[in-house]
Structure 1
C-alpha cells in the first residue's frame, strides 16, 4: 500500500510540474516548434543517444573488470537498456540503476559486487559530468556577455564536484571506511554490520585501480559529449538558438537534478529544469521547453528496446535454468 501511495505521489508531482511549466509559456508556439521539427536531425539525435547508452555499458564493463568480474558486453548492454526502460516508470536514473544492479546480480550471483559496481559507475559518471560543468561554467563566466551573472551556477558546479569526488574518496579510503564502520557497533545498527562489511570490501577493490577509474572517467566524458550533441541537434531541429557552450554547461547540471527521485521518469522535473537553467542565459522558455519535450520523447523511445529485452529475460527466467558461462579473464 505504501509503495502504491509513493508512486501516486510522484505521479501527482509530475502532473503538477507539467501543468506549472505549460502555464508559463505560449503553448501554441511550443506546439508549432514541435510540429516543424526537422526529422533528419531527430533521427541523428536518436542514433547518438543510443551511442551514449552503449558507451555507458562499456564504462560499466571497465569498472566490473577492475573488480575481477568478467561479464560479456552484450549482457551489460541488455541490462543497461533495461535500466533505460525502467527510468521511464521509476524515479529517473535511480530506478534504472536498481534494475541494472538486479539484472547483473542475477547473472553473476554476486549481489554486493553488482550493487557496488552500479554505484561506482554512477559516481564516476557524475564526477565526469560535474568536472565538465565546472570547465564550461568558467568559460561562460569569463567569455559570455553577462556571463558574470553565472557566478552562482559556477560555484554550485564546483560544490557539486567536490562533494561527489570527496564522497567517492571516502568510499575508496580504507581508513575512512573503517571509521564509518565503527558506527555499526551501535546496537541499533549492528544488524547491518555484515552488509556494510561486504559493501566496504567491494569498494576496496577499486582503491588502487587508477587506470580503470581514469578510463571510465574518459568514457563518461565521451558519453556526456554525445548527449550534449543530442541536445544541440534537438534545438537545431526546431530552428536553433541555443549555443553549444550553454548546453555543455547545463546538460550535466540537469542530469544531476534528475537524480532527485520526486517524479515518475523525471517527467515534470525535466520540463522545468530546461527553461530554468537555459533561461538564466536568455534562452526563451518556450524553446527550452520544446527541447526538453523532444529529449523526453527520445528517452522514452530509446527505452523501448529495453522493454523488449526485459520481457525476453523474464521468459528465460521462467524456462528451465541453463548453465551460465561467464566471460573468461584475459
Structure 2
C-alpha cells in the first residue's frame, strides 16, 4: 500500500512540474521545434545511448568476473536490458538493479555475490557521476555569469560525494565488517549468520580487486562522456548552437539532481533541471524542454529490447527448468 501511495505521489509531482513548465513556455513553438528535429542526428543519439548500455554491461562484467561468477557479456547485456525495461517503463517498486541481480542469481546460483556485484557496480557509477558533478559544478560557478546560482548545487555535490566515499570506505572496511558480523552472533539473528558471512566475503573480494575497480570506474567515466554526446546530438538535431563544453558541464549535474526520487522515472524533474541549467547559457525554455523530452524518449526506446527479451523468456519458461530460465520474473 505504501509503494502504491508513493508511486501516486511521484506521478502527481511529475504532472505538477510538467504543467508548471508548460505554463512558462510557448507550447506551439515547442511542438514546431520537435517536428523539425533532424532524424539522422536523433538516430545517432539513439545509437550512442545503446553504446552506453553496452559499456554498462561490460563494466558490470568486470566485477562479475572478479567474483568468479558465471555470466557472459551477452547474458549480462540481456539482464541489463531487462532491468532497464522494468526500471524505465513500469510503475513498479522493482528497480532495474534488482532485476539485473535476479537474472544473475538465477544463472549463477550465488545470490550474495551476484547482489554485491550489482551494488558495487552502481556505487562505482555514482562515484563517476558525482565526481564529474563536483568538478563541473565548480567550473560552472567560476565560469558562468550567473554562477552564483549554482553555489548551493556545488555544495550539495561535494557533500554527496564525500558521504558516498565515506560510505564506500565503511562498506569495504574489514574492521566495520567484523563488527557487523558480531551482531549476527545474537540469538535472534543467528539463523541469518551464514548469509551475512557470504555477503561479507563477497564484499571483501573487491577490497583487493584494485584493477577491476579501477577499470569499472574508467568505464563508468566513459558512460558520462557518451551520454554527454547523446545530449549534444539531440541539441544539434534541434539546431541548438552552444558549445559542447556546456553539455559536459550540465550532464552530470542533471544526473546528480535526478538522484532525488521525487518524480516518476525522472520525468518532469529532468525537464526542470534542463530548463534551469541550459537557461543559464541562453537556451530558450522551449528548446531546453524539447531536448530533455527527446532524451527521455531515447531512454525509453533503448529499454524496449528488454521487454522483448523478458517476454521471450517468459513464453519459453514452461518448457524450461527454473535453472534454465534466469530472466523469468514472477508477477
TM surpasses 0.5: yes
- Contact 1:116/1:203 (8 A) holds in 2: yes
Query: Displacement, 1:198?
Result: 3.1
Contact 2:70–2:108 under 8 Å retained in 1: no
Q: How does 1:285-300 map to 2 (within 5 A)?
A: 285-300=285-300
Asked if 1:99 corresponds to 2:99, the answer is yes
Q: Give, in whole Å, the separation in 1 of the partners of 2:290 and 2:114.
A: 37
Q: Which residue of 2 aligns with 1:253?
A: 253
Structure 1, 20-29 or 72-81: larger mean CA deviation: 20-29
Aligned-pair CA distance for 1:149: 4.8
The one-character-per-residue Cα deviations of 1:159-197 (angstroms, maximum 9, x if unpaired) are 222221221111111112233445556787777655444
1:327 corresponding residue in structure 2: none
Distance 2:19 2:134 in 1: 32
Structure 1 window deviating more from structure 2 (230-239 vs 48-57): it is 230-239
**In structure 1, how many angstroms separate the alpha carbons of the residues matched to 2:167 and 2:153?**
21
Superposition deviation, residue 85 in structure 1: 1.1
2:263 alignment counterpart: 263
Match of 1:244 in 2: 244
Per the TM alignment, residue 15 of structure 1 is displaced from its structure 2 partner at its CA by: 2.3
**What SS class does the counterpart of residue 25 from structure 1 fall into?**
coil
Please state how far the C-alpha of 1:309 moved relative to its aligned partner: 0.6
Cα distance, 1:262–1:149 mapped onto 2, change above 3 Å? closer
CA distance in structure 2 between the aligned counterparts of 1:19 and 1:216, rounded to whole angstroms: 40
Per-residue deviation, 1:90: 4.5
Query: What are the within-5 Å matches in structure 2 for residues 1-330 of structure 1?
Result: 1-90=1-90, 95-147=95-147, 149-181=149-181, 195-321=195-321
Post-superposition offset of 1:146:
4.3
After the TM superposition, which of the residue ranges 3-12 and 158-167 deviates more from structure 2? 3-12
Moved over 6 A (4+): 91-94, 185-191
Residue 259 of structure 1 aligns to a residue whose secondary structure is coil
TM-score (norm 2): 0.88
**Which stretch has the larger CA shift, 195-204 or 206-215?**
195-204
**58-67 or 14-23, larger mean C-alpha shift:** 14-23
Q: Give the 3 Å change call, closer, same or farther, for CA 204–17 of structure 1 in structure 2.
A: same
Whether the 8 Å contact between 1:133 and 1:248 is mirrored in structure 2 is no
Q: Decide whether the 8 Å contact of 2:69 with 2:114 is kept in 1.
A: no
8 Å CA contact 2:89–2:300 kept in 1: the answer is no
Residues 262 and 194 of structure 1, relative CA distance in 2, 3 Å threshold? farther
> What per-residue deviation string (whole Å, max 9, x for no partner) do you get for residues 57-101 of structure 1?
000000111122241100001011111111223479982111111
The structure-2 alpha-carbon separation of the partners of 1:3 and 1:155, relative to structure 1 and needing over 3 Å to count, comes to: closer
What TM-score, normalized to structure 1? Answer: 0.88
For the residue of structure 1 that corresponds to 2:129, the secondary structure is helix
Which segments of 5 or more consecutive residues in structure 1 lack a partner in the other structure? 325-330
Q: 1:176–1:289: structure 2 CA closer, same or farther, 3 Å change rule? A: same
Query: What is the distance in 2 between the residues matched to 1:197 and 1:211?
Result: 24
Out of 177-186 and 64-73, give the one that drifted further.
Answer: 177-186
Question: Which deviates more, 147-156 or 130-139?
Answer: 147-156
